[in-house]
Chains A and B, each alone.
Chain A
């Protein structure tokens, strides 16, 4: 399978209005996709169409618009289920994003499952959003947070992971792809290892969904979370997938309208799945936009996207490594989407400030993964992250800008 040809990239880029602007009078090079991806026109149009003609509250109105919107909302749930190959649409819970998905799970499990003396296992490369919620639950319930170490390449030390599984944690919460290093965890293997010890697994798929196809049944993960905005969808919409067994067992996390069945002043019975986890008026426009983003993404072969991005990353690495003092942070064998680096004698924030002036958008700092920065003893990194619409011209733009910035700073 071949990566995209130049004309195909041009076609893909034509869908993204944000890419065609100038920044400080220079062509815009957008390489901050791990923070959020740009939106195709179809997604933008979907939001406008919803608010223009379809806006109404769902699941309770008998009127025409409410029924239309409810239908569209539930169709989108099916689209999301199909996208990650969930066996049923009611295993898809809509949230604000990955962070809320993890908080929902943590907020529910802490009520009946993660209790005093228990343990939660994470890896040393987790984003704060898959670290802090578990750390706080552990603190509140006198449980222990176990952290699988990273090796010098920025890969999870699987021997250590196995050792910690022997401590019988009640849950393993692991990222699929590291947002700070680009390391791809061998999640399928890790899930198998965990299940052998009877440990359920949450996979943080925030960085994975735009770069690799996801099949939750094949992975056999118990929980999978991701955000719409990192896969060309709107901000403020995310997903929690869980096996039916867990969703039935889990108590609700937030309370209010929509999630209830019968309410009296004395007692409340809760709605069926998935509604018992979706309290209040949901982000209908976000859900519809997410469906459109998935439809957009489905036009392309995920393997081709991955190949294209890997080729760009390879080209970027080759160029960047010609800059004296260039040091990659994270050199995992299996990497996706992200190049993280520091240049000796310069500070990442200075490089970020200068390349910004040259129209290049990268991220600098700790990338909400401070323990990862501590592990590699750096104050932060410069991170270039790729998406399907990036081109060789972007790679060249990045290289020239970083080279110039380093020259200025030395």
Chain B
């Protein structure tokens, strides 16, 4: 499945929800299933800084693909990270770098894109793309 196809799948999943509560219950559920980051990566170096909740993000490269793990002390934030991991993990650097994130808007989580949620989606996506950039450079060296 490509990134676009995964995004499309998430959009159809979210379209089943009638109201915000179902949607957030789903996010909370996904927050409980985040591929846990190895404890040794839960350091300040892996922290995406901001003022609301703490998010740690780690990336590994295996066979040319990047695999993300993450954790957060807030469960909704973790659910959102998990969505992003579903979309971006196990991809080649170029796929990640070229992907857009319009699906966030389409599943009705637009408010998490606002700058006030400084630990929200924007900085996570940025950080994931940054990892992709770094691994891409490493590959070409």
Contacts and interface: CB of A to CB of B under 8 A. Distances in A.
A380 B24 contact: no
Contacts of A349: 52-53, 74, 76-77, 119
A397 B52 CA distance: 23
A408 B19 CA distance: 14
B75 A409 contact: yes
Interface in A341-393: 346-347, 349-350, 352-354, 356-357, 364-366, 379-380
A24 interface: yes
A379 B28 CA distance: 19
A408 B74 contact: no
A350 B74 contact: yes
A366 B51 contact: yes
Main secondary structure of the interface of B (DSSP, over half): helix
Range for the number of chain A residues in contact with chain B: 10 to 19
A365 B24 contact: no
A379 B73 contact: yes
B74 A357 contact: no
B51 A354 contact: no
A347 B20 contact: no
A54 B24 CA distance: 50
26 contacts: A24-B20, A346-B75, A347-B74, A347-B75, A349-B52, A349-B76, A349-B77, A349-B119, A350-B28, A350-B74, A350-B76, A350-B77, A353-B24, A353-B76, A354-B24, A354-B76, A357-B20, A357-B21, A357-B24, A364-B52, A365-B52, A366-B51, A379-B53, A379-B54, A408-B24, A409-B28
Interface string B28-50: 10000000000000000000000
Contacts of B12: none
A364 B50 CA distance: 13
Given A366-B51, A379-B73, A408-B28, 18 more contacts: A347-B53, A347-B75, A349-B53, A349-B74, A349-B76, A350-B28, A350-B53, A350-B77, A353-B76, A354-B24, A356-B111, A365-B51, A365-B52, A380-B51, A408-B24, A408-B25, A409-B28, A409-B75
Contacts of B53: 347, 349-350, 379
A408 B21 contact: yes
Contacts of B51: 365-366, 380
Nearest to A366: B51
A404 B53 CA distance: 21
A330 B70 CA distance: 33
A167 B76 CA distance: 48
Contacts of B21: 357, 408
Interface residues of B, number: 16
Interface string B118-133: 0100000000000000
B124 to A, nearest CB: 14
Interface string A176-196: 000000000000000000000
A365 B25 CA distance: 22
Contacts of A346: 75
Contacts of A409: 28, 75
B30 to A, nearest CB: 13
B46 to A, nearest CB: 17
Interface in B99-128: 111, 119
Nearest 7 pairs of A and B residues by beta carbon = A347-B74, A349-B52, A349-B53, A350-B76, A349-B74, A357-B20, A350-B74
Contacts of B54: 379
Interface in B38-96: 51-54, 73-77
B123 to A, nearest CB: 14
Contacts of B119: 349
A366 B51 CA distance: 7
Contacts of A356: 111
Nearest to B53: A349
A357 B119 CA distance: 18
Nearest to B79: A350
Given A380-B52, A408-B25, A350 B20 contact: no
A356 B77 CA distance: 15
Nearest to B75: A350
Contacts of A350: 28, 53, 74-77
A409 B21 CA distance: 11
Contacts of A347: 53, 73-75, 77
A372 to B, nearest CB: 14
Nearest to A367: B51
B88 to A, nearest CB: 22
A346 B25 CA distance: 14
A366 B119 CA distance: 14
Interface in A1-45: 24
A380 B24 CA distance: 21
Contacts of B77: 347, 349-350
